[in-house]
Amino acid sequence: MPATTQRPAGKKVLLMATCLCDAFYDDVARATVEVLQHLGVEVGFPENQTCCGQPAFNSGDWKSSRKVARHTAEVFAGDLPVIVPSGSCAAMHFHGNRLQFEECPDGAVESLANRTWELIDFIVNGLGIREWPGRFEKPTRLAFHRSCHLRGTGSGEAITSLLSTIANAEVVPFGQAEQCCGFGGTFSVTFPHISGRMGSLKLDHILEQHPDLLVSGDMSCLMHLTGLAQVQGRPVPHKHAVQVLRDTLQA
């Protein structure tokens, strides 16, 4: 899939930070900028960006989510690649939007779909970076949680393979990796019991492997998982994959 991508790559991009990084995880957005700039990429940040609209889309309020999607498409108009440090928000651009605009096609929204990359997918398959020159000071076991929106995209493979090239890093497999962590955005609010149970199960499988660090390409999954872990008295150190890339480079 990624090898034959028609999406534009190149050294000039627009960053969509995502609402979650805008509100909570500023350091992930920072790491994104730092890593991309380290790779010689010029990063533009349209000030008027907000959210991809996924909360409304998943709730079934497509009138509202189309409104947000049109706004986002307008903010990111042009022909530059749009880089998103979240598999979920990226998939909203190239999958969710296509679904909700099936009956009312929109050129700007379709253009955004054709230019959107999940961040690590872009680094590996867009820029062709196959090895990461970073290192951990001591042997480090990484549990990589492949978020569900990476299914069927090149990102899961891209992240695992790039993390594996970091010196002293070991990506450890864990049980039932194909299972969802239970976040699902508004799902975690409307199905609190099932969502919590799914998260706890995921944590059981991950913690069984005693990882030093839980890594994902989606802060939403990590917010849910680490929030649960905290309340359950089993906190787990965690980072976005791009933070790992930056931090191991500085070490």
Partner 1 sequence: MVNRQPIDAYAHDIDEEKQSSVSGGSAASTDKRYSALFSDYEDPNALRRLASRIKDHTLHHLDDYLEQAESSLKRNGCHVHFADTDDDARDAVLSILREREITRLTKSKSMASEEIHLNDHLIKNDIEVLESDLGEFIIQLDGDVPSHIVRPIIHKNRREIARTFQREGIADDYNDDPEAITRRARVHLREKYMEAEAVITGGNFISAESGRVVLVTNEGNSRFGMAPSRVHIALVGIEKLVPTDRDLAVFLNLLGRSATGQQLTVYTEFISGPKDDSQPSGPEEMHVVLMNNGRTDVLASNCREILRCIRCSACQNVCPVYRQASGHAYRSPYGGPVGAVLSPILFGDRFPELADLPKASSLCGACNEVCPVDIPLPDLLLRLRDKAKREHIPQPGDLPMAPFATLATSPAIWRTAMTMSKAMNHLPIEMAPVRPLQDWLGQRTLPEWRGGDFRKWLKKRQSD
Interface with partner 1 by CB under 8 A: which residues? 17, 19, 21-26, 29-30, 33, 45, 47-51, 53, 55-65, 67-68, 71, 75, 96, 99-100, 148-149, 151-152, 176, 178-180, 182-184, 186-198, 201, 223-224, 227-228, 230-231
Residue (31 or 169) nearer to partner 1, CB: 31
Residue (57 or 122) nearer to partner 1, CB: 57
Tokens read off for 150: 């990476």
Q: What are phi and psi of 15, to 5 degrees?
A: -100, 130
- Taking the complex as a whole, how short is the minimal distance between the CB of residue 176 and partner 1, in angstroms? 7
Instruction: For residue 21, give the nearest of 106, 89, 97 by alpha carbon.
Output: 89
As a whole number of angstroms, the distance between CA 251 and CA 247 comes to: 6
- Taking the complex as a whole, how short is the minimal distance between the CB of residue 72 and partner 1, in angstroms? 8
- Taking the complex as a whole, how short is the minimal distance between the CB of residue 73 and partner 1, in angstroms? 11
Is 49 in a helix, a strand, or coil?
coil
- Taking the complex as a whole, how short is the minimal distance between the CB of residue 9 and partner 1, in angstroms? 23
Residue (141 or 205) nearer to partner 1, CB: 205
- Taking the complex as a whole, how short is the minimal distance between the CB of residue 131 and partner 1, in angstroms? 27
Residue (28 or 129) nearer to partner 1, CB: 28
3: DSSP letter:
G
Report the Cα–Cα distance between both ends of the chain, in Å, rounded: 33
- How far out from the chain centre does Cα 15 lie? 13
Q: Which residue has the tokens 């909700």?
A: 100
Is 15 in a helix, a strand, or coil?
strand
- Angle at alpha carbon of residue 71, lines to 66 and 77, rounded to 5°: 120
Other beta carbons within 10 Å of 221: 27
- Taking the complex as a whole, how short is the minimal distance between the CB of residue 60 and partner 1, in angstroms? 3
